[in-house]
């Protein structure tokens, strides 16, 4: 077992053992983790997320996407986040038929949806033991968006060519050669404002970058805050990062400088669709507008990855952090991480993804009618939804602060 995995497992073991004592520490003014978590604020999170909506769905290959990348970079610099940099790559659309494409139709929250089937294949009148699902797909029709302002924002179609994505790094004081990657994807699609998918995760990562970049906050190990592009086209932005930078890990440049452009990866934490947890469709296809009582922050690892055991242990570090520091919603752990930007990393480093529910069984089953649809707009979310995203931020901030040895001096 490599030294970085031994470090993670040792850290995890310690966190799990003291998880209960953290519950009391969370209220202790001397606890640096509690101090950092207290700096998360619902209105500030919403303001950051609202800022992203000015660029429509931020679809890759468009001027609105490029403007959004520039805006994110400007915000990170304004936070004082050190080493703001970009990854550059070229994206070319795959030939039609080389990947599964979504249908143009999207579910409707208020009316029965045609084609509804039981999870075991039976119809609405059948005896499905798994509940019902609604069809899902990607909306490409401008006219499906009733808001003219949002239609105009999203009118430009993407073109192939150069792409970029931005990241910044909190440099560790004693182990600058090791880091955790905290990330989300900033692109979306569906002729909408990409609020949940994935403005919610992007704003979360930006808020954590702001808090960890503040004066008086130090960490022993480094943290990289990355906002991927081209997630919706097949995880291309995060894949480009892995391809370009995995072999640069831990190399001091220049030798003896103490500068590590790509610190050794200790863990990768992705955030994707943080707001919506409204429950399953009814037999008539209707999904509730109200967040369900059982809403939670789902933490997923991939059980078939090469590093499944270590990723699972990392997930439970985050579960312990949620138990200790979340203010409203609990966290659960699941083994079905899929189709998000932690996937290109999962065989290289322990990797997890935080989101509102399991992608395969819930989002893929039609539980979230805002997914890739014209419904993913600001007006369709309430403070209960936004607070679920804030609680995911609490989870990650607490866990990463613990893992990186964060301290607060003022």
CATH code of the domain in which 378 resides = 3.40.630.10
Query: What DSSP state is assigned to residue 52?
Result: H
- Residue closest to 12 by CA, chosen among 304, 372, 317, 342: 317
The DSSP element (H or E) to which 68 belongs, if any, is helix 63-78
- Residue closest to 210 by CA, chosen among 390, 45, 31, 28: 45
DSSP output for 251-284: --SSTTS---SSPEEEEEEEE---S-------TT
- Residue closest to 178 by CA, chosen among 224, 221, 242, 225: 221
Query: pLDDT digits over 191-225, tens only?
Result: 999 999 999 999 999 999 999 999 999 999 999 99
Query: pLDDT digits over 57-108, tens only?
Result: 999 999 999 999 999 999 999 999 979 999 999 999 987 654 433 333 333 4
Question: Residue 207, Cα to own-chain centre: how many angstroms?
Answer: 12
For the chain, give me the number of helices (H) and strands (E)?
10, 12
- Residue closest to 289 by CA, chosen among 56, 108, 45, 43: 108
Q: What is the mean pLDDT of residues 253-274?
A: 96
Residue 209 near residue 217, CB atoms below 8 Å: no
Residue 401 has pLDDT above 70, yes or no: yes
Residue 333 near residue 316, CB atoms below 8 Å: yes
DSSP output for 72-113: HHHHHHHTT-SS-EEEEEEE-PPPTTSS---BS----SSSPP
Residue tagged 């520039």 (tokens): 70
pLDDT at 39: 98
User: For the chain, how big is the Rg over CA atoms in Å?
Assistant: 21
Residue 359: Cβ within 10 Å count: 23
Give residue 282's pLDDT band: very low, low, confident or very high (50, 70, 90): confident
Residue tagged 């998880």 (tokens): 19
Number of residues that make up the chain: 410
Question: Residue 255, Cα to own-chain centre: how many angstroms?
Answer: 35
Q: What is the mean pLDDT of residues 373-395?
A: 97
Query: pLDDT digits over 43-53, tens only?
Result: 999 999 999 99
Tell me the pTM: 0.89
Q: Which domain holds residue 292?
A: 3-408
Strands of 175-185's sheet in order across = 85-91, 161-170, 221-228, 175-185, 264-271, 351-355, 297-300, 331-334
- Residue closest to 269 by CA, chosen among 290, 234, 300: 300
Residue 30: Cβ within 10 Å count: 8
> How many structural domains compose the chain?
1
Give residue 286's pLDDT band: very low, low, confident or very high (50, 70, 90): confident
Give residue 11's pLDDT band: very low, low, confident or very high (50, 70, 90): low
Query: pLDDT digits over 112-131, tens only?
Result: 333 444 444 444 444 344 56
> Residue 55: phi, psi to the nearest 5?
-105, 20
Residue 185 structure tokens: 């994807």
The DSSP element (H or E) to which 354 belongs, if any, is strand 351-355
Task: Give percent above pLDDT 90 in the chain.
Answer: 75
In angstroms, rounded to a whole number, what is the distance separating the alpha carbons of residues 402 and 374? 39
Residue 41 structure tokens: 């604020």
């Amino acid at each position: 077992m490599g030294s970085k995995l031994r470090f993670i497992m040792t850290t995890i073991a310690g966190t799990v053992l003291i998880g209960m004592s953290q519950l009391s520490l969370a209220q202790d003014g001397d606890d640096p983790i509690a101090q950092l978590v207290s700096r998360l604020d619902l209105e500030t999170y919403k303001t950051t997320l609202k800022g992203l909506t000015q660029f429509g769905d931020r679809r890759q290959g468009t001027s609105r996407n490029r403007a959004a990348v520039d805006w994110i970079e400007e915000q990170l610099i304004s936070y004082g986040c050190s080493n703001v940099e970009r990854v550059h790559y070229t994206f070319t659309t795959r030939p039609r038929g080389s990947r599964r494409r979504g249908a143009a139709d999207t579910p409707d929250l208020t009316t029965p949806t045609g084609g509804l089937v039981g999870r075991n294949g039976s119809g609405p009148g059948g005896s499905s033991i798994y509940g019902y699902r609604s069809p899902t797909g990607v909306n490409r029709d401008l006219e499906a968006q009733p808001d003219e302002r949002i239609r105009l924002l999203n009118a430009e179609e993407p073109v192939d060519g150069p792409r970029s994505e931005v990241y910044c790094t909190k440099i560790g004081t004693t182990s600058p050669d090791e880091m955790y990657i905290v990330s989300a994807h900033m692109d979306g699609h569906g002729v909408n404002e990409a609020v949940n998918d994935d403005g919610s995760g992007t704003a979360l990562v930006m808020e954590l970058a702001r808090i960890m970049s503040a004066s008086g906050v130090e960490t022993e190990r480094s943290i990289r805050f990355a906002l991927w592009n081209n997630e919706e086209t097949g995880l291309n932005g995060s894949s480009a990062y892995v391809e370009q930078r995995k072999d640069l890990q831990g190399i001091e440049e220049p030798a003896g400088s103490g500068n590590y452009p790509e610190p050794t990866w200790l863990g990768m934490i992705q955030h994707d669709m943080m707001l919506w947890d409204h429950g399953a469709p009814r037999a008539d296809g209707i999904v509730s507008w109200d967040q369900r009582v059982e809403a939670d922050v789902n933490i997923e690892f991939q059980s078939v990855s090469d590093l499944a055991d270590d990723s699972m242990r990392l997930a439970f570090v985050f579960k312990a952090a949620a138990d200790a520091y979340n203010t409203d919603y609990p966290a659960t752990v699941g083994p079905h991480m899929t189709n998000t930007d932690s996937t290109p990393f999962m065989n290289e480093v322990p990797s997890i993804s935080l989101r509102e529910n399991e992608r395969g069984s819930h989002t893929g089953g039609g539980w979230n009618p805002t997914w890739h649809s014209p419904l993913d707009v600001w007006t369709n979310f309430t403070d209960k939804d936004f607070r679920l995203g804030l609680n995911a931020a609490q989870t990650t901030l607490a866990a990463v602060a613990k893992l990186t040895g964060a301290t607060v001096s003022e």
